[in-house]
Every structure is written in C-alpha cells, then in structure tokens.
Amino acid sequence: MAETSVTVVALAALVTALATGLGALPLLATASLSRTWEGVGNAAAAGLMLGASGQLVIEGLDHGLARTLLGVVLGGLFMLFSRRVLPDSDEASMGVLRGADARKALLIVGVMTLHSAAEGIGVGVSFGGGQDLGVLMTAAIAVHNVPEGLAIALVMVPRGATVVVAAGWSVFSSLPQPILAVPAYLFVALFEPVLPVGLGAAAGAMVWMVARELLPDARERLAVTPTYATLALFTAAMLALGWLVAGG
C-alpha cells in the first residue's frame, strides 16, 4: 500500500513538472518578435511572476508569518548571491544563448527551480493529508505551472532559443517537484515546518527578478504606459487564475 502511495505521489508531481513545458507552446505561433513585442513579453513575464509570488506569500502566511517573511528575505539574498557568482555577461552561455541573454535565462530558470522546490514540498505535504487533498493540490499546481512555463519562454525565445529548447528548460526548472514530493510525503512532520520558508524564498526571488531584470528590459523596448499596463494585466490574470483553481 505504501509503495502504491509513493508511486502516486511521484507520478502526480511529475505531471506538474511536465505541465510547465506546455507554457512555451503559444510561442510556436510566431517565428520572431519585434523589439516592441520583446518588451511586451518581458512585461508579461514580469506580471506572471509577480502574480505567482503573491500567491506564494498568501499560501505561506497560512503556515506562518515569521517563516514566510524569513523566506522572502532569503530568496532575495539568494538572487543577489546567484547574480554575483554567475559568469560575467560576456562569458555566460546557455545553449545557443550567449552573454547577457544567457545570464538572464540562467537567472529565470534558477528562480523557477527554487519556486518548484517549494511546490514539490507542497505536493508531498498535501498528500500526507490524504489523497483527495493531494490530487487537488497537484491539479492546482499543474495549472499554475503552464503560465510559469510561458514566463520562461517569453524570456528565452525572443533572445534566440527555440520553443522546444524553452519548453525543455521549463520542464527542467520543475524537476524539483517530483524529486522533493516523495520525501516530503514520507516525512511530512519534517518538511511541513520549512514549507512557508520555501514559499517565501521563491516569492522573494521572483520579486527580485521582476524588479532587477524583467522590468528594466521591458522599459528599454517599451514606453512606460504599455509596460505597466501589461504588467498589471498579467499580474491580475495570474492572481485570478490562482483564485479560480483554489475554488473561488
């Protein structure tokens, strides 16, 4: 019985990871983006990440205010450290991407990987509360992962990556979900206290990425009003999606 339960948890978390790759598919409709649309893409990715970070903080607060806020601070510090240890823009590479483009792609994949670690713990902990709760959490995270995959694609594809490569990196960023879900399920008492820290850290890292990388890039290509209108629209859309999948 235990083996079957572990298998169910692992497969459920794997589904959430694979769902992330679906987010890149809308970009199959266009071979290239103009400079203006690159700006829109960056602003949209920023909005999706900002909305996701808001949801993470809200969920974390249900488990503990202090630990969530600690996580937010740690997430910001993690991104500061990551940016320092990454190669200089001229030396960075990621597949076909080089220089500053590769550095930004590495940062967003890193942010989403941190995010996925928190969600993987969430899946495992939720299955510890019963299969019905686990399935509900899995479905919610899988739906959330699609626009998060889109956020990665909106950063990578305009900079030269193919849609297939962007989808692959999107799935890669979600691999911590199946990796961490099973141990979190088996050791709920150990993992549950760190869940709000993980959620807060992912949120803090996302806000840092939005403020430090995505919005400045969007503003280089787009005027103020369309930049922040796009940001607000996609932030609201992500928050609305979270509200809907949570059952209103």
CA distances from 45 to 24, 49, 108, 214, 240 (A): 12, 6, 10, 7, 16
Residue 18 has pLDDT above 90, yes or no: yes
Percent of the chain whose pLDDT exceeds 70: 90
Residue-wise pLDDT tens digits, 119-177: 898 888 888 877 777 887 888 888 888 888 888 888 888 877 888 999 999 999 999 99
Q: What is the pLDDT of residue 229?
A: 95
Round to whole Å and give the CA distance between 57 and 71: 9
Residue-wise pLDDT tens digits, 59-118: 889 888 999 999 999 999 988 887 777 665 555 566 566 667 777 778 888 888 888 888
Name the band, by pLDDT with cuts 50, 70 and 90, for residue 241.
confident
Residue 1 has pLDDT above 50, yes or no: no
Residue 217 has pLDDT above 70, yes or no: yes
First vs last C-alpha separation in the chain? 34
Q: What is the pLDDT of residue 201?
A: 92
| pTM greater than the 0.75 cutoff | yes
Least confident of 45-54, 86-95, 216-225: 86-95
Q: What is the pLDDT of residue 56?
A: 87
* pLDDT, average across residues 22-49: 83
Q: What is the DSSP string of 24-76?
A: GGGGGG-S---HHHHHHHHHHHHHHHHHHHHHHHHHHHTT-HHHHHHHHHHHH
Residues in the chain: 248
Angle at 42 between CA 33 and CA 97, to 5 degrees: 65
